[in-house]
Amino acid sequence: MEESAFNALAEAELARIESAFEDCGAEIDIEPKPGGILELEFDNGSKMIINRHTAAREIWVAAKSGGFHFRPQDGGWVNTRGGGDLWAMLATLASEQAGEAVSLARPA
């Protein structure tokens, strides 16, 4: 995949993720940063970073429980270790860090 095509795909996904977190109802401060980075801060002070990694053509997630890499595949983003779906993992990781259930609706 060309770099420009990947960046467009990743930026669109990051925008959907930002919107979903804004609408999830949990107390999470979301701060978009330059270069395709979303920084989420939870009430307990912990942070999660979600960013595009252009060189690897992946979206990376750094959470309290570890780091995860996702590649575009079949219209979604799949974990490079174990094959989990990005959105399901984001909900699980956010729930763990928030200390409450976080449900994310994937916008169309």
Instruction: Provide DSSP, 9-56.
Output: HHHHHHHHHHHHHHTS-S-EEEEEETTTEEEEEETTS-EEEEEEETTT
Q: Which DSSP letter does residue 85 get?
A: B
Give the residue-averaged pLDDT of 10-19: 94
> If you average pLDDT over every residue of the chain, what do you get?
93
Give the residue-averaged pLDDT of 71-83: 93
Question: Tell me: the pLDDT tens digits for 23-63?
Answer: 888 889 999 999 899 999 999 999 999 999 999 999 999 99
Cα–Cα distances in angstroms (integers) from residue 52 to residues 19, 33, 59, 75, 94, in the given order:
16, 11, 4, 16, 18
Identity of the residue numbered 64: K
Give the residue-averaged pLDDT of 16-26: 90
Q: State if pTM tops 0.85.
A: yes
pLDDT-above-90 percentage for the chain: 81
Q: Domain boundaries in the chain?
A: 3-96
108: pLDDT strictly greater than 70: no
CATH number of 3-96: 3.30.920.10
| All residues at 6 or more sequence positions from 47 whose CB lies less than 8 Å from its CB, including other chains | 39, 40, 41
Q: Token pair for residue 104?
A: 């994310």
